[in-house]
Chain A
Amino acid sequence: MGALMVIFSLQPKQRSKTRDSVEDELELSAVRHRPEGLEQLEAQTRFSRKELQILYRGFKNECPSGVVNEETFKDIYSQFFPQGDASTYAHFLFNAFDTDHNGSVSFEDFVMGLSILLRGTIQEKLNWAFNLYDINKDGYITKEEMLDIMKAIYDMMGKCTYPVLKEETPRQHVEVFFQKMDKNKDGVVTIDEFIDCCQNDENIMRSMHLFENVL
């Protein structure tokens, strides 16, 4: 009995430590970010005032603090793909949206990205896609990077697919991609090779216009 009492008296010290860390976390999340003015955003993006208003309302509702961190980003994106695991692809997306690489996506980043994706020229869109695939942002897409991206995309499908997903399917897909894109067969794809190849591919061209009426 005495031993039990001694043990109980030891506990509170540990708990106070965890409580402190929780309070710290709360303080961090109290950081508020206010976006630039509406006029500035209107000038920098291709959205109208009304569209920006709608976008901001949705954004602020989900992220009252004004910024999205990677966890929240992954959560939100995963909700659209319940069968599979969208966290890896969301990670790459996050890096693509987080242009200033500060670990969080503010409303400006968000809106800039969307502006390119929805209202940008083909060139801009292809640029953006290249940026997404180029994980280390060195200007070249290597096979390993592409494999990562491919695996992330196939992960979103989940297990229950028809035909059944096999281990080497991403790799095969990467091979196909590289055969198409890598003109000089040096094992990497540069931005020019990428853009050239995509502009010559009808399917890709057509699909670039697919989501123009989203907003």
Chain B
Amino acid sequence: MAAGVAAWLPFARAAAIGWMPVAGAPMPVPPPGKHRRQEGLIMLNVSGTKFQTWRDTLERYPDTLLGSTERDFFFHEETNEYFFDRDPDIFRHILNFYRTGKLHYPRQECISAYDEELAFFGIIPEIIGDCCYEEYKDRRRENQERIQDDEDMDQTNDLVAADLSFRETMWRAFENPHTSTMALVFYYVTGFFIAVSVLANVVETVPCGPGPNRVKEVSCGDRYALAFFCLDTACVMIFTVEYLLRLLAAPSRYKFVKSVMSIIDVVAIMPYYIGLVMTDNEDVSGAFVTLRVFRVFRIFKFSRHSAGLRILGYTLKSCASELGFLLFSLTMAIIIFATVMFYAEKGSSASKFTSIPAAFWYTIVTMTTLGYGDMVPKTIMGKIFGSVCSLSGVLVIALPVPVIVSNFSRIYHQSQRAEKRRAQKKTRLARIHAVKSGGANAYLQYKQSRLLIDLDEEASKEAGQALVCKANPGFEVHHHHLLHCLEKTTNHEFVDEKTYEASYRDVTLVNQVSHSSSTSSTSSPHGLSSCCSRRKRKTFNVPNSNMSVGLQGSIQELSTIQIRDRPFTNSRSSRSSLNAKFEETVPLNCDQSYITAAVISMPTPPGTTPEGDDSTSSTNYSQANIVRVSAL
């Protein structure tokens, strides 16, 4: 029931008195009258913009946030008002909904921001008034298409070759040639052969000069029959192989066989095989010639290679109704005018308009403004109707064309937008990544400076003061503390990219030199490979005071050795190397043992028997090896 009508409920109830004298039975007891509800104004403070309204206005819609007791959660005692930390511009429309009963959608607002506000205040968007509903739905659909495109892109890009079976890899290679060089090569090779095949079809009909034993001209196809046959065979071989491979790789063979592209493929190669089967058979040679026409369908195979062609095909499919209308109206007009012309020209002698179907040709040629001139009206009536015919032809054809054009333009721009967004996405992600890593770097810097302070009191006094001046209070401090807690929990520390790279290089070196033996960890390959599949790269590099090694055996051990040695060789003055600091601070402020875990992106790190490992640290170890810190 419309809420405005709720204001008339007292009237409806009062008017019920009109039934009383007529009623035969006693009336039910009325519900208890509402205790004097506070009639008054409500103050709504939305991010500083104050709105006021009657309490009753809000309570018109009791199933929304403002109309129900849910708003009590936002009541601010100190100022005796309801405070909402939301967008005041959009709130204006929401409040107007309570006042007028109609929800409007402002065109200049972002559709997702608006949707969020509606969801927050518990209003369903379906009650948007008719004046704004269409616009709202259009924008929403557009937005969803955009998001859908992005998601599709993500999905296709996220899958990595290692996860897929051979069949799936092949299918991906076929669908997206950019994924691997093999796919690209295949793509270009098939494209080349399609072109060659079409060209051969065209050229073999060109007259090539007189044949070896004849006088009259023969076509190139007849003259160099063998060459063309070989070329044709080669092309068909390639196409057949391609088709079979696609059929093999398709996730749903049935769906693949039904698809348009596969039908085109089949139609392209069938004539050849049929021709092979029935050579030298006089009766069907005529049909055989017809079959050769189907070879031209090979040109449609290019649509896999060209997005524009696909868009054109898609447009035609989506404009099917307009095209149908065009065809229908043209047919109607052709029949009408052909009849008229026939009867108009019937009188004149030697007229070419021998029958109505014969006049069809004239009508078509005239309506499309071709005007070949092979059939021309000679009587005056014929000429009059002929001119009307040509004028109307222009109109009838001009009408549906803009619709088709606009459809094509919309679809084309959509695909362009998808391409653009994909390109922009990479730069956007890179920039976001940089900002995030800025945050991580901040933590590392903070640690550096913190250690500096601990280290060298005097020297770092200025640095400390600088730190104090620079330190961002509040969020940053708590965030750093949080990361520090994590470090302590896992007994690993965050390092930056350089140190990690360096340690990794050393580890590989050492690995080549020394052997690793005995128990290899079973859990690591899987864990590490799953880590590898994530795009984020994280590194741990923590110095080890004692040589406890966990499950991930030798690599870590070796890296431990290596890392422990390295800091001492590094100059103390180099502040960039965190390891130096760690080593120096280890005696100062670590009581517990850190465990080195240089997480390496090698899938199967061999392990060694742990020698005197901490039971506590080993468990941390396995977790730690999975966890990686983003340094970039």
Interfacial residues, chain A to chain B (CB-CB below 8 A): 1-2, 50, 54-55, 57-59, 61-62, 76-77, 79-80, 92-93, 96, 110, 113-114, 117-118, 125-126, 128-129, 132-133, 149-150, 153, 173, 176-177, 194, 198, 203-204, 206-208, 210-211, 213-215
The answer to whether B10 and A215 touch across the interface, beta carbons within 8 angstroms, is yes
B100: min CB distance to chain A, Å: 8
The answer to whether A57 and B54 touch across the interface, beta carbons within 8 angstroms, is yes
The answer to whether B39 and A50 touch across the interface, beta carbons within 8 angstroms, is yes
Interfacial residues, chain B to chain A (CB-CB below 8 A): 1-2, 4-5, 7-27, 30, 33, 39, 54, 56, 99-100, 333, 388, 391-392, 395-396
The answer to whether B22 and A153 touch across the interface, beta carbons within 8 angstroms, is yes
Question: Which of A76, A211, A213, A215 meets B17, CB within 8 Å?
Answer: A211
The answer to whether A208 and B20 touch across the interface, beta carbons within 8 angstroms, is yes
The answer to whether A1 and B14 touch across the interface, beta carbons within 8 angstroms, is no
Given A1-B395, A206-B27: A214 and B13 within 8 A (CB)?
yes
Q: What chain A residues lie within 8 Å of B391 (beta carbons)?
A: 1
The answer to whether B22 and A93 touch across the interface, beta carbons within 8 angstroms, is no
Which 6 pairs of residues, A with B, have the shortest CB-CB distance? A58-B7, A1-B392, A213-B33, A117-B14, A207-B20, A207-B27
Q: What chain B residues lie within 8 Å of A198 (beta carbons)?
A: 21
**Residue of A at shortest CB range from B10?**
A214
A207–B21 Cα distance when bound, in Å, is 9
**Residue of A at shortest CB range from B22?**
A177
A43–B7 Cα distance when bound, in Å, is 23
What are 20 A-B pairs with beta-carbon distances under 8 A? A1-B388, A1-B392, A55-B10, A57-B7, A59-B7, A61-B99, A80-B12, A93-B15, A117-B14, A117-B17, A118-B10, A126-B21, A128-B17, A132-B18, A173-B24, A176-B24, A207-B17, A207-B26, A211-B13, A215-B10
The answer to whether B21 and A79 touch across the interface, beta carbons within 8 angstroms, is no
A73: min CB distance to chain B, Å: 10
Given A57-B54, A204-B20: A62 and B27 within 8 A (CB)?
no
Given A77-B12, A210-B27, A211-B13: A173 and B5 within 8 A (CB)?
no
**Residue of B at shortest CB range from A132?**
B18
Question: Which of B17, B54, B99, B392 meets A208, CB within 8 Å?
Answer: B17
Given A58-B8, A80-B12: A173 and B22 within 8 A (CB)?
yes
Best-buried of B25, B30, B99, B333 by chain A (most CB within 10 Å): B30
Q: What chain A residues lie within 8 Å of B100 (beta carbons)?
A: 61
The answer to whether B14 and A214 touch across the interface, beta carbons within 8 angstroms, is yes
Can you add 13 more A-B contacts, CB < 8 Å, to A61-B4, A79-B2? A55-B10, A58-B4, A76-B5, A77-B12, A80-B8, A117-B14, A150-B22, A153-B19, A203-B23, A203-B27, A204-B21, A211-B14, A213-B33
A207: min CB distance to chain B, Å: 4
The answer to whether A117 and B30 touch across the interface, beta carbons within 8 angstroms, is no
The answer to whether A79 and B5 touch across the interface, beta carbons within 8 angstroms, is yes
**Residue of A at shortest CB range from B31?**
A213
A126–B17 Cα distance when bound, in Å, is 9
Q: What chain B residues lie within 8 Å of A133 (beta carbons)?
A: 18, 21
Given A129-B17, A153-B19: A62 and B4 within 8 A (CB)?
yes
The answer to whether B11 and A110 touch across the interface, beta carbons within 8 angstroms, is yes
B280: min CB distance to chain A, Å: 56
A113–B13 Cα distance when bound, in Å, is 12
A113–B14 Cα distance when bound, in Å, is 9
Best-buried of A62, A92, A133, A207 by chain B (most CB within 10 Å): A207
Given A62-B8, A79-B5, A198-B21: A210 and B392 within 8 A (CB)?
no
B26: min CB distance to chain A, Å: 5
**Residue of A at shortest CB range from B15?**
A93
The answer to whether A125 and B17 touch across the interface, beta carbons within 8 angstroms, is yes
Question: Which of A58, A96, A203 meets B26, CB within 8 Å?
Answer: A203
Given A93-B15, A211-B30: A149 and B10 within 8 A (CB)?
no
Q: What chain A residues lie within 8 Å of B56 (beta carbons)?
A: 54, 57
Given A1-B333, A1-B391, A62-B5: A210 and B30 within 8 A (CB)?
yes
The answer to whether A118 and B14 touch across the interface, beta carbons within 8 angstroms, is yes
**Residue of A at shortest CB range from B60?**
A61
Best-buried of B4, B11, B396 by chain A (most CB within 10 Å): B11
**Residue of B at shortest CB range from A131?**
B18
Q: What chain A residues lie within 8 Å of B333 (beta carbons)?
A: 1
The answer to whether B388 and A2 touch across the interface, beta carbons within 8 angstroms, is yes
The answer to whether A129 and B18 touch across the interface, beta carbons within 8 angstroms, is yes
Q: What chain B residues lie within 8 Å of A213 (beta carbons)?
A: 30, 33
**Residue of A at shortest CB range from B333?**
A1
Q: What chain A residues lie within 8 Å of B8 (beta carbons)?
A: 58, 62, 76, 80
**Residue of A at shortest CB range from B19?**
A153
The answer to whether A80 and B24 touch across the interface, beta carbons within 8 angstroms, is no
**Residue of B at shortest CB range from A60?**
B7
B303: min CB distance to chain A, Å: 38
Q: What chain B residues lie within 8 Å of A55 (beta carbons)?
A: 10
Q: What chain A residues lie within 8 Å of B395 (beta carbons)?
A: 1
The answer to whether A206 and B22 touch across the interface, beta carbons within 8 angstroms, is no
A214–B16 Cα distance when bound, in Å, is 12
Question: Which of A57, A61, A129, A211 meets B21, CB within 8 Å?
Answer: A129
Q: What chain B residues lie within 8 Å of A62 (beta carbons)?
A: 4-5, 7-8
A95–B333 Cα distance when bound, in Å, is 60
A85: min CB distance to chain B, Å: 15
Q: What chain B residues lie within 8 Å of A58 (beta carbons)?
A: 4, 7-8
A128–B20 Cα distance when bound, in Å, is 12
B348: min CB distance to chain A, Å: 23
Q: What chain B residues lie within 8 Å of A211 (beta carbons)?
A: 13-14, 16-17, 30
A56–B39 Cα distance when bound, in Å, is 14
B172: min CB distance to chain A, Å: 55
A150–B10 Cα distance when bound, in Å, is 23
Q: What chain B residues lie within 8 Å of A215 (beta carbons)?
A: 10
Given A203-B23, A207-B23: A117 and B15 within 8 A (CB)?
yes
Q: What chain A residues lie within 8 Å of B24 (beta carbons)?
A: 173, 176
**Residue of B at shortest CB range from A211?**
B13
**Residue of B at shortest CB range from A119?**
B14
**Residue of A at shortest CB range from B17?**
A117
Q: What chain B residues lie within 8 Å of A129 (beta carbons)?
A: 17-18, 20-21
